[in-house]
Amino acid sequence: MSVPDRAVEVTQAPDPVRAVFRTALRDMLLLLGPLAVLGVGVGALVAGLPGVWGALLGIAVALLFSGSTIVSMLVTARSSVATTGAVIMGTWLVKMALVVAVLVALGDRHFYHRIVFAVVLFAGVLGSAALDYLAVRRGRVPYTEPSRG
């Protein structure tokens, strides 16, 4: 008696390393959403429309700065150390160039409030770094992998 051909559904265990990076990405977005609302509200109260622009620009730069690292780690989670290192270094270099370019481009502009921009950017980047740390600390990543023998 033969077993009829059926598509065998293979389920894989979730990847704990990618789960840590997904958690860090989710937490960063959950931080930056309310921070944008709060920053825009406080910016509007403090400086009017320039405060709103300062908050929005701060959130955008924080998202670029913090999000690019998490996404590059998520994409290379199962790559070789050399590939991961190259992607992380390349991402860091591009990120630094973009942040410097944005800061230079905004340097002589007066449509945004610089203090609101700096406070929102600082809060976004520092908060994201703290959430990244917590995601890694709470992550349950095994030290060894079971054999697939």
Give the C-alpha separation, 30 to 59, whole Å: 12
CA dihedral (16, 17, 18, 21) positive or negative: positive
pLDDT at residue 33 greater than cutoff 70: yes
- Reported as a single tens digit per residue, the pLDDT across 62-71 is 999 899 988 9
- Reported as a single tens digit per residue, the pLDDT across 79-110 is 888 998 899 899 999 999 998 998 899 888 89
Are 63 and 35 in contact, with CB atoms under 8 Å apart? no
Q: Predicted confidence band at 56 (pLDDT cuts at 50, 70, 90)?
A: very high
Question: Which pair of tokens denotes residue 141?
Answer: 């990543």
Secondary structure (3-state) at 82: helix
Residue of higher predicted confidence among 7 and 81: 81
pLDDT at residue 59 greater than cutoff 60: yes
Closest by alpha carbon to 136, among 70, 85, 59? 70
pLDDT of residue 17: 80
* In the chain, where the domains are located: 16-137
Helix axes 114-138, 16-47, angle to 10 degrees: 160
Burial 47-60 (b: 16+ CB within 10 A, else e): beebbbbbbbbbbb
- Reported as a single tens digit per residue, the pLDDT across 129-148 is 998 888 888 877 666 666 66
Residue of higher predicted confidence among 70 and 14: 70
